Structure 1
Amino acid sequence: MGLIASLPEIDEQERSAFVMHEKSEKLIPLHTHKKGQLGYVEGGIAYINIDEKTYVVPARHYFWIPHGVPHILRIGHSGTVLRSIYFYTHDDDDDSFYGKLGIYPATELLIQMINHTECWDGTHVVDTDYNFEFLVSIKKLLPLLDTRALPIILPVSRDKRVTRIIQYLEDNIGEPISLKSVSIQFCMSERSLSRIFQTQLHISFLQYVKTLRMVKAIEMLLKTNSSVTDIAFSVGYDTIGSFSNTFYTFTHSRPSDLRRL
């Protein structure tokens, strides 16, 4: 049974942990569940849409979605394995981590523990089961890891003017992009363009461009065989050093490390 078919089953047992591992390229439509979701992305990339924001989850990273948060989940590569554990919520108040959505780099220990749960795929694990404490340990481990959520988040807008500007940025991401050049392209003042990003997307123009470049770089690293140098130039960087340092700020890893792992 796939994830979409399993959505109604996740909440059937309130105090259980539900395990689901799935390899596919698909869109899981808008949904919510009464459990918190730990999701680990293996071998590709995933996208989470929440409140007009797109969270980008590269391979070897995990995400936590608190219970009750409506979201769309898209697995963006046919070779991607999404490993999820949906956890009971009666102890969520023990740590503020469980109340925040975030994307984090996965440690080797966490990866091994999550991978081990594949043998319980598609099942509810309850407190009377022999393996329940193992899953409890995974949940308790999360707040003890690096809890600095990665800023790989692209805001979106339904405003037609904003979507045209965003499309232009995507189409020209490899070119020199500045507030001045884009404002001229759309026949508006720099101040007006800057205000649009702050009011519509709640992010500065420059920060949006930087984030978009990193998202495109992550996609190219995971989906193509292009060299790191070619990718850096393709997303608008003149030097490898500048590209690598910015990439590390966003992902806590170097471009070559992300691809190798």
Structure 2
Amino acid sequence: MDLGLTGKRALVTGSTAGIGLAAAHALASEGAHVTVNGRTEARVQSAVDALRRALPGATIEGIAADLSTAAGCKTLLTKLPDVDVLVNNMGIFEPKPFDEIPDEDWLRFFETNVLSGIRLSRHYVTGMRARNWGRIVFVSSESALQIPAEMIHYGMTKTAQLAVARGLAETLRGTGVTVNSVLPGPTASEGVGDFVAKLAAARGADVATVEREFFATARPSSIIQRFAAPDEVASMIAYVCSTRASATTGAALLVDGGVVRAIA
């Protein structure tokens, strides 16, 4: 299926690993001109090199910028002033008891997970509106709908992303610009993989055992009973970025393996 992305300029934030890297790969494989982003030059160049090896002939560039700050966003926007497709994927998570989360963490999570996407969307939407075509995707989480007790600050930011995405979509009614949220469930991203590996090592167990126990206790409603692969999430991201998804906007699209018990 041709997704109609050939030649479209796409930025995927936080794309040196995990879902972001998989989304960059999916978009580049469809002919989009993809810009990869991460905090350090080394990580960005490594991701660019890996994508170029996997997709010879693809147009892939990289920009190192810490988008958790206004200065970092300005750096990126100066280097990349316009895009057709924006995937707001960059984010952080950290399990921590509610009464141990200081103000500084609430602010850090909000600025990283929410304000980064707001700042970029606010800039790029002007050009998209002028061209009457564009795609903005916020990579949220099933945690936006089922706030995890072990990281309420993270869940708060994921819910905020849904509000921003829906509100922005409303402002673009009647245009060819769409704004959607994609909500992955537990996914074998780099951060999750490291967390599970450390937990397994601390308990003297293997990773497979920890994964089974996680789904038996923490996410028992999961239908697939496993971590999703990043490319499984990236497939949904690529679709909503495509010309074929022109009637999908203001939506929150689950790729959660059935974790959220809902029929709508």
- What TM-score range do you get, normalising by the shorter chain? under 0.3
Name the structure with the higher helix share.
Answer: 2
TM-score, normalised to structure 2, is 0.26
